[in-house]
Structure 1
Amino acid sequence: MGRRSKDGVPRGYVPMMVGKGVEERFLVHTKLFKHPIFTGLLEMAERDQFGFAQPGVLHIPCDVEQFRSVVNATVTLALNTIFRRWGLKAQSTWNISGELCNGVAIDSTILDGDIFNPGIKCDCSYNNGTICHIDQLNFWKNYLTGSVPAFFGNFTRMQYLSVGNNALSGPIPKELGNLQRLISLGLSNNNFSGSIPPEFGNLTSIQRLYVDSSGLRGELPPTLSNLKTLSTLRLQGNSFEGPIPASFSSLNQLTELRIGDIINGSSSLEFIRDMTSLSTLVLRNCKISDAIPSNFSHYTSLQQLDLSFNNITGEVPQSLFSLSSLAYVFLGNNSLSGNLPAQKSNALMNIDLSYNQLSGTFPSWVSQRNLQLILPSGLRCLQRDFPCYRGSPNYYSFAIKCGGSNPVTASDGTVYEKDNASLSSASYFVTDLIRWAVSNVGSFTDASNSNYIITINSNFQGTLDPELFYTARLSPSSLRYYGFGLENGNYTIKLQFSEFAILDTPSWRSAGNRMFDIYIQGVQKERDFDIKRVAGGRSTQAVVKEYVAPVTNNFLEIHFFWAGKGTCCTPFNGYYGPSISAISVSPNDFNPTVSNQPLGINSKKDPKGLIAGVSTAATVLGLFVIYVTFILIQRKKRLNKQNSVLTGLDVKPYTFSYAELRAATEDFNPANVLGEGGYGQVFKGILNDGRTVAVKQLSTTSNQGKGQFLTEIATISAVQHRNLVRLHGCCVDEDKRILVYEYLENGSLDHAIFGFFAIKKMGKKNLLLGWPKRFDILLGVAKGLTYLHEESRLRIVHRDVKASNILLDADLDPKISDFGLAKLYDDKMTHMNTRVAGTIGYLAPEYALRGHLTEKADVFAFGVVALEVLSGRPNSDDSLGHETVYLLDWVWNLLENNNKLAMLDEKLESFDEEEVNRVIGVALLCTQASPSCRPTMSRVVGMLAGDVEIPYVPERPTYLLLWQYRDVTSSFAFDDTTDASIVRRANNQPSPPRGWSKGESVETGPFSSQSIESDITAEGR
């Protein structure tokens, strides 16, 4: 490796910016470079703090002790041409005019991966140190387009060349075969056409060849067998034609061989006979028709073996399972027969033997702890005819929220069961009720995804149920879902997808494509299915596909299969292959005759006394019919009344019965109270299907009447976003009004950031949120408000944004709650003739003083919340004894004394200073006096994300100066509808010397204060 200075910068490595669309600049360490060519650049280097290995920086290693060698003019011309073709802009001060690499080669460092990328390394040892030749080029993942130039073949002294993970196209130039000194060649993850040039057989010094997922076709050239020094060969993820050349047997130095998805032809395993140095062997879906060699004991270094999706016959040899280093074996989807090996090594912990024709009994090692084995509950399960769990039909439907940790109720009332079982590279999971199962086969290349689940942070369009798309199951190879005990007939299978990694943004995240096949009941429904392409190129577009398939033998199989198409490592390792967000299965053209419930325990009854009991049973049955008739009549009356209440709603929520909610909350047991809002108590409840919910029982004495209740129902049902609390349904029973929300297990944000409140009020340990999570919470809240203000079909002002109205789920992701105070408004409506509603301390001045309501009132409140999250202090703090300090005043005092970091919560052990500065800047901008000076929430999101510049706020808002912290609550002119208790609280409370009274939710009529209102008007409203 290169010599490093004390701060870790490699000596002799000159990073140079050639990024497209960015200011080009040298990044040079002043202690290292003393040559006149760097004079004048040192000041710029200081400004960049001697960074190195930055994206878009071209790294040119050379020795700084000597500056007399020059680059060959032909090479210089070729590089200039390459830069122009690829859109790389070279700075005029280093225009490669014979001075590209001055000096002598410093060491044998390999420019691999991200460390020196893009990078050029020269060997300046030629002609007594007067000539330099480029021996390494690294342009890995640099968003390059175009083709690989043929004159790369002129770099005959090249030893390392990487252009992988780009968007290069066209054929691979045969001239690369001239690079006979090449040791490593990386072409993976591009969009090439054609085949591997036969001239590659001339690369007789090469040790590593990567051409996986490159769009190549045609036959594998037999000339590759000349590359006897190869240690790594990756060919998977293309569309090569078979058979695999038998001459590959000469590649006996290989330690890693990956070939996959061969089209046509039939291959044997004979060519691997002498590859005894292999540690990784992947021959997946290669049309192999052969038996596994009986003696595998010579492969002592083998760690991973994947021979899945072939036609391999015979038995599994004991010698294979006895290898001491072997950890992964994938042999599924073959024609293996016979017994399982009687013994296995302790290292072998991931085994897939599904979909074969095995027989016999289980060996004792099957019960080994932590073993990942796809052979559940009986040896005949998951074999070719899949005989398990078939028999009497119990079910006619099921729905799965793939990757979801909680059930989800869709807008049509369908309940999607959770699916968060942790899968591995060879695993299988069956639900407790044996209604459905899921299996995964395969291991992600060079990456790990511990449970094969991804959580998606996007706002999905084109669906009423965006929550169905927030998680997805992944598989690197084969993902199957099974339905058990289904009544035979034709079914509608609805598959719902969302693309989460390959985004439609002008960045590296847009590179790559995900392609897989879909089979239902063994019939291919989709070939090379590409979610993003079907979504019209939009990564946030929900994709729903429906199919009709027959169910026979009470069994359904849905199979997602990666056939090696698309990309495997762009934009991420470990996120390629099949992906599915939700599945639902329902009858298509028949009326079910089964209960859709698991079978109960049947017991045989004694026939004696059966006849004697007939008359008694008939009497009881008659009385029962009368009772049921009465109950049905009463229920119909209640339903008619309920329907009249819900009439007119565009989105009709799911309705619960009062009895169901009463049972869920244990008769509204006080022990289950989660909290109390302005309109009633909130209880924790557990529904019959196992879901935990929050049940809001509206007080009969509250001010919220039928109209307000309906407004809240319509509002929450119409807006669905990952950062908004979801409404599961409601109950309208006579005078009872109940809302059923999703349950958020980590309580509210104020409990999390104001630690002593968490212990005192909730009796639970403080969450101690670190800075990364606090920043993510603020970003999530901003996205939720953006949706309410700008993206929802109904434009909504929340009116009471505060820390206690932001709830945290199991992953501490934020969700905005309490839409009871939200009001709908159209584009021309900027003033609401309604009562002022909100919480003192979060109210924007124009709203508090004049009842003037726009979305900028929420922006103001968000700014206050941001400061609370940053500082760990509530908006008014009496912890200092006799004095109550208003948060905004405290913040500005620190800023004016150049002590902004003092506002950080002392509980934070570390923080990102750049993010902290963004939060402070956004908070100050959001709390400006004039609404027109505050940003929209969409701009707030951009500012927090670092995509939008944050304007400087030079001085504290004048409303802070003019109010002088008098007790403004005592001057409120309440209207007649205001709760008298609130008036007494406001008028009788002693005037705090600074700030408003903390945290009281109020509803007030418009009030005025000439000095303050004139100030707001003067500032531009």
Structure 2
Amino acid sequence: MSSLTYLFLGNNSLSGPLPSQKSNRLPTIDLSYNYLSGSFPQWVTTISQLNLVVNNFTFDSSNIDLAGLNCLQRNFPCNRNTPLYANFSIKCGGPQMRGIDGILYEADQDSALGPAKFYVTSTQKWAVSNVGLFYDGNNPSFVETTLTEVTGTDVTPELFQTSRVSPSSLRYYGLGLENGPYTVTLQFAETVYTSRATQTWHSLGRRVFDIYIQGNLRRKDFDISKEAGGVNRAIKIPFKVNVTENYLDIHLFWAGKGTCCIPKQGVYGPLISAVHAVSDFTPTVSGLPPTTPGKKSRTGLIVGIAVPVGAVSLLLLFAVLYMTRKESEKNDDEDLLGLGFRPNTFSYAELRAATEDFNPSNKLGVGGYGPVYKGTLSDGRVVAVKQLSVASHQGKSQFVTEIATISAVQHRNLVKLYGCCIEGSHRILVYEYLENKSLDQALFGRNDLHLDWPTRFNILLGTARGLAYLHEESKPRIVHRDVKASNILLDAELSPKISDFGWAKLYDDKKTHLSTRVAGTIGYLAPEYAMSGRLTEKADVFGFGVVALEILSGRPNSDDNLDPEKIYLLEWAWTLYENDQSLGLVDPRLTEFDENDATRLIKAALLCTQASPMMRPSMSRAVAIVSGDIEASTVMSKPSYLADWDFKDVTTSSFLVDDDTSSTESDVLLNHQLEGSTTGASPGIDPALSPVNVTGSMLTGIIGEGM
């Protein structure tokens, strides 16, 4: 591999420092979206194409200056919690210009992107990152130019004379944004491919890519000319987005679809002409960068006078409130002491206002933990407010567990925790709101949601990916312990998000298993965990297998209204499998489905529910089986417990519980919505560009030796 000149290892969970040396034969390296840390070796200043965005590098006076990279590390730290902006506009791949709508689009032409490059504006207002190589193309600037006038309604033709193009992954970031709801408008025009109406060989070309915003898939298999009604026609697409952590991530991703070589090599991949983001609320920020030192500022003079006066007034006010709140704050701090950090907190008054004083009309569900309400925060975010019942001793323990667990992990298939309230006797969790409720309601209750075959497949695959992240990628590793259909929520695009981490256990990498009292839901419990308290991540694999069968069959894991041989889903599934009639399990409401996929998924589910945890696959292997990357094992045996197990969806905490729990918890339904949600956003949740299993030591060898 000594001739290697391009190294793309983005999205691979790499950790540790960069190697101290690099082969001179390796001028292009992409290590974006990993967990690399430490300072930079000297060779990073000698490489022309290097993308290190979204890692954990150290930036201090002794480190090498890589302009703007500090803003594009994990959590996007520049102006975080002290936002400066509430809008930004970008002329992708071209010079600054003003549109007919009066918007001034900032130039993106000077950021000479390449196969692995990023650029951050001097004002730290927005940034762009590109990954990918037109291997056979001749497009070093990654910009497409047209002399043909682009037409369209309410558009500026000059905006489309140049467009930014990427062979694989193109991201635009808004930085230092004030939190709240935004409208993000993306403008496209197909200026490369020939009109399909000409019916020539060149007209066969198709540009197809996916659009992600805040890590959520908003448009799948997006085709510009198809959406716009032809080539050289402009289209403006607005998206409603919620900014919660002071940054915005717009990701255009080529998923390998469409055509690569018509009308010429290297013209495929995402293509965009302009980006505009503006707040849907009245901003409190000026939208201006800090004043340059030495310049006179009238605003600064006013602020210099007003701040001391305001500070004196606030001190007087704080003096009055201090004694009354001191004891309450002490109690609150004690509750969070074990967490090791201070999560985002809301006041009880703020949540009362958001839920209209916890109005019964806003109640979404209730259980042993307490009621859950729909609410709207002052910044416009719609949330689910999960309130701990005062009498619930069980809930207080789960409350701290859930904060610690969810705050430690971020993934597109995990529900996002916005924060909590610990004030006096009040214990409240605030989640993102997902409008399509839980999977069990979609499958067994509601009739207005149509879960077709592709949707069910994506729900099953997304759930598997979320669990694989918890088991193998998150730090620390986490066993959910209560994987079931009611704990899988659906966003506006019907993508799954795993919720309810109150029973979760942090898992020590050095231990093969944990001995613990059982908590979870009968029907989804692995036999070794239910009978002996032996807990490993394979307990979640079992629960996933049951959920997979429910998704495929459209029925719960037990139903007394069915014929005796069909009451227990697992037992019925095995009977069908043994009689070579597996497809009889598929939900009869599915008029169309892929028989090969269905057969593979049923095998995967049965493999996940094997009696021996050693025979069950890991969740990462389950993901590969579900996606069709590897074959499911044919060595399976019907578990002996099937004939004796009584599958009832009742929480086991009524008879086997954790040491500090006593009351029974029934299902609590959280309704949520997609708009504004982010996993992590999170960096790392978008599709991996070239997923491979690479360790830190291997990385050192690859970069140092050039392979």
Q: Same fold (TM over 0.5)?
A: yes
SS of residue in 1 equivalent to 2:600: helix
Sort the Cα spacing of 1:353 and 1:894 in 2 relative to 1 into closer, same or farther, 3 A.
closer
Contact 1:413 1:654 in 2 (8 A): no
Sort the Cα spacing of 1:852 and 1:894 in 2 relative to 1 into closer, same or farther, 3 A.
same
Which of the residues 320, 331, 336 maps onto 1:646?
A: 336
2:437 corresponds in structure 1 to 747
TM-score by length of 2: 0.57
Contact 2:519 2:658 in 1 (8 A): no
2:613 corresponds in structure 1 to 931
1:568 corresponds in structure 2 to 267
2:492, 2:653 → 1: CA distance? 43
1:352 corresponds in structure 2 to 156
Shift in Å, 1:704: 3.5
Query: Per-residue CA shift, 1:376-398, capped at 9, x if unaligned?
Result: xxxxxxxxxxxxxxxxxxxxxxx
Alignment of 1:574-589 (within 5 A): 575-577=270-272, 587-588=289-290
Shift in Å, 1:456: 3.8
Shift in Å, 1:653: 2.1
Contact 2:462 2:495 in 1 (8 A): yes
Query: Per-residue CA shift, 1:389-439, capped at 9, x if unaligned?
Result: xxxxxxxxxxxxx999xxx9x9x9962643345x555xxxxxxxxxxxxxx
1:447, 1:825 → 2: CA distance? 56
Shift in Å, 1:581: 11
Contact 2:479 2:506 in 1 (8 A): yes
Sort the Cα spacing of 1:568 and 1:511 in 2 relative to 1 into closer, same or farther, 3 A.
closer
Aligned-partner residue type, residue 267 of structure 2:
C
Sort the Cα spacing of 1:352 and 1:826 in 2 relative to 1 into closer, same or farther, 3 A.
same
2:492 corresponds in structure 1 to 810
Aligned-partner residue type, residue 703 of structure 1:
H
1:632, 1:804 → 2: CA distance? 44
Contact 1:716 1:726 in 2 (8 A): yes
Query: Is 1:775 aligned to 2:579, yes or no?
Result: no
Which of the residues 533, 537, 558 maps onto 1:876?
A: 558
Query: Is 1:900 aligned to 2:582, yes or no?
Result: yes
Shift in Å, 1:915: 1.2
Contact 1:875 1:887 in 2 (8 A): yes
Query: Per-residue CA shift, 1:7-66, capped at 9, x if unaligned?
Result: xxxxxxxxxxxxxxxxxxxxxxxxxxxxxxxxxxxxxxxxxxxxxxxxxxxxxxxxxxxx
1:695, 1:658 → 2: CA distance? 11
Sort the Cα spacing of 1:936 and 1:770 in 2 relative to 1 into closer, same or farther, 3 A.
same
Query: Is 1:690 aligned to 2:614, yes or no?
Result: no
Any unmatched runs of 5+ in structure 2? 1-114, 116-132, 162-170, 197-205, 226-231, 237-245, 280-286, 301-311, 669-707
Which of the residues 624, 632, 650 maps onto 1:950?
A: 632
Which of the residues 533, 536, 539 maps onto 1:851?
A: 533
Which of the residues 598, 609, 619 maps onto 1:916?
A: 598
Alignment of 1:15-164 (within 5 A): none
Query: Is 1:419 aligned to 2:183, yes or no?
Result: yes
SS of residue in 1 equivalent to 2:393: coil
Contact 1:723 1:815 in 2 (8 A): yes
Shift in Å, 1:959: 2.1
Shift in Å, 1:794: 1.1
2:488, 2:636 → 1: CA distance? 30
1:534 corresponds in structure 2 to none
Sort the Cα spacing of 1:929 and 1:579 in 2 relative to 1 into closer, same or farther, 3 A.
farther
1:214, 1:698 → 2: CA distance? 61
1:713 corresponds in structure 2 to 403
Sort the Cα spacing of 1:494 and 1:804 in 2 relative to 1 into closer, same or farther, 3 A.
closer
Sort the Cα spacing of 1:910 and 1:496 in 2 relative to 1 into closer, same or farther, 3 A.
closer
Q: Report which of the two structures shows the higher radius of gyration computed on alpha carbons.
A: 1
Which of the residues 123, 129, 138 maps onto 1:214?
A: 138
1:658, 1:851 → 2: CA distance? 38
1:686, 1:238 → 2: CA distance? 42
Sort the Cα spacing of 1:511 and 1:638 in 2 relative to 1 into closer, same or farther, 3 A.
farther
1:224 corresponds in structure 2 to none
Query: Is 1:703 aligned to 2:393, yes or no?
Result: yes
1:785, 1:817 → 2: CA distance? 11
Contact 2:187 2:272 in 1 (8 A): no
SS of residue in 1 equivalent to 2:497: strand
Aligned-partner residue type, residue 869 of structure 1:
I
Aligned-partner residue type, residue 568 of structure 1:
V
Shift in Å, 1:804: 0.3
Aligned-partner residue type, residue 850 of structure 1:
S
1:500 corresponds in structure 2 to 253
2:45 corresponds in structure 1 to none
Shift in Å, 1:951: 0.7
2:627, 2:313 → 1: CA distance? 68
SS of residue in 2 equivalent to 1:838: coil
2:475, 2:258 → 1: CA distance? 29
Root-mean-square deviation (CA, aligned residues, Å) is: 5.0
Query: Per-residue CA shift, 1:520-574, capped at 9, x if unaligned?
Result: xxxxxxxxxxxxxxxxxxxxxxxxxxxxxxxxxxxxxxxxxxxxx99431xx4xx
Query: Per-residue CA shift, 1:566-614, capped at 9, x if unaligned?
Result: 9431xx4xx234798999977446899989xxxxxxxxxxxxxxxxxxx
2:383, 2:649 → 1: CA distance? 40
2:485, 2:354 → 1: CA distance? 28
Shift in Å, 1:892: 1.5
SS of residue in 2 equivalent to 1:877: coil
2:351 corresponds in structure 1 to 661
Which deviates more from structure 2 when the two are superposed, residues 779-788 or residues 889-898? Answer: 889-898
Query: Per-residue CA shift, 1:860-883, capped at 9, x if unaligned?
Result: 000000000000110001222788
1:675, 1:658 → 2: CA distance? 20
Sort the Cα spacing of 1:820 and 1:964 in 2 relative to 1 into closer, same or farther, 3 A.
closer
Contact 2:394 2:663 in 1 (8 A): no
Sort the Cα spacing of 1:938 and 1:730 in 2 relative to 1 into closer, same or farther, 3 A.
same
1:267 corresponds in structure 2 to none
1:590, 1:644 → 2: CA distance? 43
Aligned-partner residue type, residue 576 of structure 1:
L
2:315, 2:456 → 1: CA distance? 60
2:508, 2:333 → 1: CA distance? 28
1:674, 1:922 → 2: CA distance? 34
Contact 2:483 2:524 in 1 (8 A): yes
Which deviates more from structure 2 when the two are superposed, residues 721-730 or residues 907-916? Answer: 907-916
2:353, 2:289 → 1: CA distance? 31
Aligned-partner residue type, residue 254 of structure 2:
A
1:649, 1:781 → 2: CA distance? 27
Contact 1:871 1:905 in 2 (8 A): yes
Shift in Å, 1:847: 0.3
Aligned-partner residue type, residue 585 of structure 2:
M
SS of residue in 2 equivalent to 1:876: coil
2:642, 2:254 → 1: CA distance? 45
SS of residue in 2 equivalent to 1:695: strand
1:823, 1:803 → 2: CA distance? 19
Query: Per-residue CA shift, 1:304-362, capped at 9, x if unaligned?
Result: x42xxxxxxxxxxxxxxxxxxxxx43xxxxxxxxxxxxxxxxxx64642569xxxxxxx
Alignment of 1:224-243 (within 5 A): none
Contact 1:214 1:238 in 2 (8 A): no
